[in-house]
Amino acid sequence: MSDYTGVREALRHESPLWRIEHLDITCDGCLCEPIIGARFKCTVCEDIDLCGACMRALVAARLKMAQEGAAMPGLPRRQGQRPRKWVAKLHSRDLTEKWAALQTAVPCLHPSHQFQKVVDGPERAVVFLADGQPASGNIATGGCSSQPAAAAGAAGPQQQDEQQEEQQASQEVQAERGRCAVNGSSRGINGGSSSSSSALGEFLSTFRPSAASCRDVAWIIVAHPEPSSEQPSSSSSGSGNGSASAGLSLEQRVDAAVEEWELKVQQAAFGPGRRLTAADVDALAAKHRILKGKWMLFARSGAEADAAWAAVAKAVCAEPRLCDSAKVSSAGPEADGSWVLCVYTENYHDSEDVQRVCRGLQRALRGGLLQDRRLLYKPDVYTHLGIYSKNQWQLKPTVFEARLL
């Protein structure tokens, strides 16, 4: 397959338009999640990963230790501790202090760990950043919402106007969150409009779902960057328990939700007449802020997948955007030969927003782009709790259904 080598070639070089992400994989050195760019996995342990920066630091540390003839003690793994300035302490003259710092920071220093670069696998995704910095760097980007003060100072008068405009607009339309600073007309002036759409075009033609092999990237994604500081969702109805999960990562919230769910399952098993219902799942989702969900669409051929994905990706990147992100599986001929498209919404309890995205998809995919007309909506929380279509509680993970027009 010649297009297969095209994908490999594209992945070999860094691009300002897209990047590799390892979905749901946390670096055991710096705790970043997901790992972006290079990922190194221990081939001895079951679940130890490092990002590129930590791997470089580890190599440097091992080298330095070897040069200084220091013994490598066995290291206890300390969970949940965020490393601070440990890299600086690498240069300490005191070997004991040095190792203490490293032990705190990096659970992976023991020489028995064998790290290997990950070049495939189900977590590996290529991500197009819808508001990303264009290659030339001289075009005002749609850095959504949070413009650093320095950038505002450096911007020309016209861009400042745009920012003021945006501030006004965002005050007026609170609901329209995450709107891009650069609107259509100003992009035209800067020549950014054609640039950004051609960037998407280049991405779509390089990473076609029919062409990208599962072995290299499991998912192709278009996404708007997330706001830098995650606000507890004010629209999560009921519960009022947001403070309990404030500041926790998604992983931590999922762990807490799973724990609570397992407890409920036990109670239901031994308690009299208590059945677990969708309301139980909804309450957990609200309490732990696991509210994302996705519309799923299905393509039966590579040509269908390519066409439908291009239409969806353009809708996500358009202004106003359909939603924050979407992905398509890159199942090749060696897999089961079908493709799934997932179009995300932020909060599945916000059924109005869920339906808005549904209508957008019906518009974007009209004209019979997909033979399979099903539109199925599944909240992420069901996946996190391990509730699949055939489960003992007869819960239905698909909470909304629609059809393409």
Strand order from edge to edge, sheet including 115-117: 49-51, 39-42, 115-117
CB nearer Zn ion, residue 113 or residue 224 = 113
Residue of the chain from 11, 27, 58, 125 that contacts Zn ion (CB under 5 A): 27
With binding defined as CB under 5 A, does residue 54 bind Zn ion?
Answer: yes
What is the four-CA torsion angle of 295, 299, 300, 304, rounded to 10 degrees? 160
Beta bridge partners of 22: 35, 124
Query: Tokens 């790992």 belong to which residue?
Result: 35
Nearer to Zn ion, 54 or 369 (CB): 54
Sheet architecture: strand order including 35-36: 35-36, 18-22, 124-129, 219-223, 325-329, 339-345, 293-299, 374-379, 400-403
Of the ranges 5-13, 51-59, 120-128, 156-164, which one interacts with Zn ion (CB under 5 A)? 51-59
DSSP for residue 219 = E
**Binders of Zn ion among 77-116, rule CB under 5 A?**
113
Strand partners, 34: none
Write down the least CB distance from residue 249 to Zn ion, Å.
14
Instruction: Retrieve residue 257's tokens.
Output: 């939700």
Tell me: does residue 51 bind Zn ion (CB under 5 A).
yes
User: Burial, 111: exposed, middle or buried (Cβ in 10 Å; 0-12, 13-18, 19+)?
Assistant: exposed
User: What tokens does 193 get?
Assistant: 């409009």
DSSP lists the bridge partners of residue 345 as 293
Q: Which is nearer to Zn ion, 63 or 169 (CB)?
A: 63
Among the listed residues 18, 29, 144, 285, the single contact to Zn ion using CB under 5 A: 29
Of the listed pieces 14-22, 50-58, 95-103, 320-328, which binds Zn ion according to CB under 5 A? 50-58
Closer to Zn ion by Cβ: residue 30 or 370: 30
Nearer to Zn ion, 87 or 180 (CB): 87
Looking at 1-9, 53-61, 190-198, 206-214, which segment touches Zn ion (CB under 5 A)?
A: 53-61
Smallest gap from residue 27 Cβ to Zn ion (A): 3
Pick the stretch among 22-30, 195-203, 241-249, 362-370 that binds Zn ion (CB under 5 A): 22-30
Cα angle 24, 25, 28 (rounded to 5 degrees) comes to 140
- What is the closest distance, in whole angstroms, from the C-beta atom of residue 74 to Zn ion in the complex? 12
Beta bridge partners of 126: 20, 220
User: Going by C-beta distance under 8 Å and a sequence separation of 6 or more, which residues neighbour residue 329?
Assistant: 209, 214, 218, 219, 339, 340, 341
Interhelix angle 192-206/302-317, nearest 10 degrees: 150
Q: Which is nearer to Zn ion, 109 or 358 (CB)?
A: 109
SS (H, E, C) 331-358: CCCCCCCCEEEEEEECCCCCHHHHHHHH
**Total site size for Zn ion, rule CB under 5 A:** 10
Q: Which stretch binds Zn ion (CB under 5 A): 45-53, 292-300, 308-316, 367-375?
A: 45-53
28 contacts: CB under 8 Å, gap ≥ 6: 48, 49, 50, 54, 106, 107, 108
CA 183, 188, 190 angle in degrees (round to 5)?
A: 95
Closer by beta carbon to Zn ion, 113 or else 208: 113
In this chain, which of 10, 48, 106, 285 binds Zn ion, going by CB under 5 A? Answer: 48
Least gap, CB of 58 to Zn ion (angstroms): 9
Shortest Cβ distance from residue 12 to Zn ion (Å)? 22
Nearer to Zn ion, 11 or 58 (CB): 58
Nearest distance from C-beta of residue 241 to Zn ion, angstroms:
31
Alpha helices by DSSP H, 74-143: 86-89, 95-105
Q: CB of residue 83 vs Zn ion: minimum separation in angstroms?
A: 9
Q: How far is the CB of 100 from Zn ion (least distance, A)?
A: 19
Give 397's DSSP letter: S
| Smallest distance, Zn ion to C-beta of residue 344, A | 26
Q: Judged by CB under 5 A, does residue 30 bind Zn ion?
A: yes
Closer by beta carbon to Zn ion, 14 or else 401: 14
Mark residues 110-149: x for contact with Zn ion by CB under 5 A, - for none: ---x------------------------------------
Of 76 and 272, nearer to Zn ion (C-beta) is 76
For binding to Zn ion (CB under 5 A), which residues are involved?
A: 27, 29-30, 42, 44-45, 48, 51, 54, 113
